[in-house]
A and B are shown apart, each in its own frame.
Chain A
């Protein structure tokens, strides 16, 4: 039986990791919300963000957190462009399948490109606080994870505030709830959708910077994240930002506790077990209500 201090340590790490999961999955819920798109390439964009952070850090000594100022606008514009130029042109009757194929192609494209530019080597961003931690009783909280968690919380709160209180957020929610009705009251739904997609991709830039801070990565690393992030948004209720955040926190904590009590092989199963249970018992997700009311 693991000691109490180990359990506490596991719990603390789980909460910190869960927060990061929430940030990484938030983009997926946005895409699904605005376009009903399952964006297979989201993790690939996360790692593209991580690589950009890495290059900015290695060659220009830009702090990973400052690099967000460059990558976020870049990803936002990229997201708007992808939505306007590619996704919006897919035919509605085959949109489901075609959007998956299109984003799958993006994932391959990004991975191949990173392989050519950065080779298959493992990269990591080693800042001087990377190996230190904040001690709280017997529990040690690594600084890089604390920072990752703080960035995640700040980003999600900002995202939530935009969706909840800004005029754009109202228009976005109206578009999600009823596109035709939104158009009737004068909302330019195409523009709103494009911006929504851009916002989703912008979260990938922030997530990428956090990933670069806390883990090593290589071009093919994104495959391992797709299933995990998908599981989070299904458990959280498709399209719900707060549901996904809660699910991410919950799965992160359970994963860490299984890791410290059982082992890593069982921990890897946690996400699939919950995906399975959710689909069997509560397909609408544990934290989502009606799709229209999820924001």
Chain B
């Protein structure tokens, strides 16, 4: 492609500029256009799809990766493997929890295969990396179902990607058990084959905390509430679930901040919250924003009596990330590694054998999704992608109560699990379950919280 190079400045350029020699402005206009284009294009990348390209450089074969049957120990079993297709955000914004879910799936597959497989067939996980991009998650599942011809699919991480993927599964009449789509919207789309593999949907996560606050003597309750919420269906689902309840009960909302997913500077947002002087702070957060907010609060000397964050504090590395300021911070949580539930100890042991540290919520939910699928396959005794088999599996799960590591699960007609989230609190550098006040509780809730 060769562009004719004329040294004749265009009239346009001359008219618009009088300062420079004619050759310079034309070139500069070209540069400016290029930069503007780049800025806009990259900004678009920055928000939703920061690593569409990372996938290509870091794991070039992620899309077409060889099945990971070796990693899950299925090679000793006879029989055609049950091939399970999953697209996960292994790179990009959600790469951290995405890998967590993958570890959960792999732990499940390994344990199933070590125990002789399902219907005497080994389980084989087939992963694709969607780079946290809702568009790629759609094409991933299309390909897994139509060209890869997998027998089963399991869901990706995060409400945003689940919403996109569930539609593909629905159109192809595939059962869709998902480990991480808790946002209220997901259950309002009329999906008939979707089941969420966790105890409760987002807007009910704080039910126990709300009950706790209401049980406090009136003069001890936090009078004012501030919210800072990520613009994300899950984060907003949790925080605004509590907000709705508190506002109905007469608590005053003094500020409600919403910030975009790529926000990295929390100083000014924190300044608004600090200025409101709210006694209860509710953060609808992922991980890095919870850390950023807490650091900014510390710098501004803001000390609420109670502070709770959606996710972030549920991850083991949270305390280190906030430099030990985690003391007394609350969070809703659907899983506890120390909970005395059937199969949980085995899962934790196997997970620790395969990976470092205790499993958090994300691996646990991946594992739970696998448990539900396994229970259905063994009960119905089929494991192929035919609509008949898939419908039988769906019908079974719809009516069943299935024993999992997050407790017994059952679902309503939209796939909402009928359990409740626990409330955890960081105490003495450890995560303790403080609500509900039943046998799952490992410590008493500390209120007001110590200063951070």
Question: Is the Cβ of B257 less than 8 Å from the Cβ of A264?
Answer: yes
Which of B28, B58, B96 interacts with A111 by CB under 8 Å?
A: B58
- Closest Cβ of chain B to A255, distance in Å, is 8
Assuming the contacts A216-B292, A224-B46, A238-B32, asked whether A9 and B265 have C-beta atoms less than 8 A apart, the reply is no
For chain B, what secondary structure do more than half of its interface residues adopt (helix, strand, loop), or is it mixed? Answer: helix
Contact residues in A for B259 (Cβ distance below 8 Å): 263-265
A221-233: CB near B (< 8 Å → 1, else 0) gives 1011011001101
Q: Which residues of B contact A275 (CB under 8 A)?
A: 36, 39
Check if B412 is an interface residue, CB within 8 A of chain A: no
Tell me the minimal C-beta distance from A211 to chain B in angstroms. 9
Q: How far is the CA of A290 from the CA of B17 in the complex (A)?
A: 10
Chain B proximity mask over A103-122: 1 for CB below 8 Å, otherwise 0: 00000110110011000111
Instruction: Using known A-B contacts A142-B267, A259-B269, A260-B272, determine if residue A130 contacts B39 with beta carbons closer than 8 Å.
Output: no
Count of A-B residue pairs with CB < 8 Å: 197
Q: Which residues of A contact B46 (CB under 8 A)?
A: 223-224, 226-227
Which of chain B's residues have a CB closer than 8 A to the CB of A48? Answer: none
Chain A: CB-nearest residue to B230: A264
Interface residues of B in 8-64 (CB under 8 A from A): 16-17, 19-20, 24-25, 27-32, 34-36, 38-40, 42-43, 45-46, 50-51, 53-54, 56-58
Given A111-B58, A112-B58, verify A122-B96 contact (CB < 8 Å). Answer: yes
B275 touches A6 (CB 8 A): yes
> B300 contacts the other chain (Cβ, under 8 Å)?
yes
B118 within 8 A of A: no
Contacts of B325 in A (CB 8 A): 131
Report if B244 contacts A (CB, 8 A): no
CA distance A21 to B241 in the complex (A): 37
Contact with A along B166-202 (1 / 0, CB 8 A): 0000000000000000000000000000000000000
Contact status A223-B50, CB under 8 Å:
yes
- Which A-chain residue is minimally distant from B1 (CB atoms)? A94
B258 adjacent to A263 (CB under 8 Å): yes
Contact between chains at A284 and B39 (CB < 8 Å): no
Contact across chains for A268 and B267 when beta carbons are under 8 A apart? no
Complex Cα spacing A226 to B29, Å: 20
Contact check, A220 vs B51: say whether CB atoms are below 8 A apart: yes
What is the total number of residues of chain B having a CB less than 8 Å from a CB of chain A?
Answer: 66
Question: Is there an interface contact between B38 and A220, defined as CB atoms closer than 8 Å?
Answer: no
Shortest CB–CB separation between residue B314 and chain A, in angstroms?
Answer: 14
**Nearest-neighbor residue (CB-CB) of A97 within chain B:** B34
Find B19's partner among A13, A264, A284 (CB 8 Å cutoff). A284
Residue of A nearest to B231 (CB): A265
Which residues of chain B are within 8 angstroms of A284 by Cβ–Cβ distance?
17, 19-20, 25, 28
Residue of B nearest to A216 (CB): B288
Q: Is A2 an interface residue (CB 8 A)?
A: yes
Q: When the two chains form their complex, are residues B99 and A265 in contact, meaning their CB atoms are under 8 A apart? A: no
Contact of B275 among A2, A112, A145, A238 (CB under 8 A): A2
List the B side residues contacting A224 at CB < 8 Å. 46, 50, 262, 264
Cα distance A264–B227 in the bound complex, in angstroms: 13
A100–B30 alpha-carbon span in the complex (Å): 13
Residues of B within 8 A of A112 (CB): 54, 57-58
**A-contact bits for B294-310, CB 8 A (1 contact / 0 none):** 01101111000000000
In contact, A40 and B267 (Cβ under 8 angstroms): no
Q: Are B275 and A115 in contact (CB under 8 A)?
A: no
* Closest residue of B by beta carbon distance from A230: B39
Which of the candidate stretches B78-86, B87-95, B433-441 sits at the interface with the other chain? B87-95
Interface centre among A17, A227, A291 (most CB of B within 10 A): A227
* Whole-angstrom distance between the Cβ of A49 and the nearest chain B Cβ: 16
CB distance from A198 to the nearest CB of B (A): 22
> Which residues, 245 to 278 on B, are CB-close (under 8 Å) to A?
257-260, 262-265, 267-269, 271-272, 275
Q: Bound complex: CA of A8 vs CA of B264, how far in Å?
A: 21
B323 within 8 A of A: yes
Q: Judging by beta carbons under 8 Å apart, are B300 and A216 in contact?
A: no
Chain B hits for A265, CB < 8 A: 231, 258-260
Bound: A122/B265 CA distance, A: 14
Q: Are B288 and A100 in contact (CB under 8 A)?
A: no
Candidates A17, A140, A230, A267; contact of B301 at CB < 8 Å: A140
**Contact call B260/A115, Cβ cutoff below 8 A:** no
Q: How far is the CA of A283 from the CA of B29 in the complex (A)?
A: 8
B39 to A100, Cβ gap below 8 A?
no
A120 to B325, CA, bound (A): 23
- In-complex Cβ contact of A234 among B36, B264, B292, B300 (8 A): B36
Contact with B along A251-294 (1 / 0, CB 8 A): 00001100110011101100010010001000110000111000
B321 within 8 A of A: yes
Instruction: Supply 10 further A-B pairs (C-beta < 8 A) apart from A111-B58, A219-B54, A264-B259.
Output: A124-B291, A131-B295, A133-B300, A142-B300, A216-B264, A224-B46, A234-B39, A259-B268, A264-B257, A279-B32
Across the A-B interface, give the 7 residue pairs with the lowest CB-CB distance, nearest first: A112-B57, A120-B95, A259-B268, A264-B259, A131-B298, A142-B299, A227-B43
22 CB < 8 A contacts A-B:
A5-B275, A6-B272, A36-B27, A93-B2, A96-B34, A112-B57, A112-B58, A121-B96, A140-B300, A216-B291, A221-B50, A221-B264, A223-B42, A223-B45, A231-B39, A238-B31, A238-B32, A265-B260, A268-B262, A272-B40, A275-B39, A279-B32
Q: List chain A positions with a Cβ less than 8 A from chain B.
A: 2-3, 5-6, 9-10, 13-14, 17, 36, 38, 40, 93, 96, 100, 108-109, 111-112, 115-116, 120-122, 124, 126, 130-133, 140, 142-145, 215-221, 223-224, 226-227, 230-231, 233-234, 238, 255-256, 259-260, 263-265, 267-268, 272, 275, 279, 283-284, 289-291
Q: Which residues of B line the A interface, CB within 8 A? A: 2, 16-17, 19-20, 24-25, 27-32, 34-36, 38-40, 42-43, 45-46, 50-51, 53-54, 56-58, 91-93, 95-96, 99, 231, 257-260, 262-265, 267-269, 271-272, 275, 287-288, 291-292, 295-296, 298-301, 317, 321-323, 325
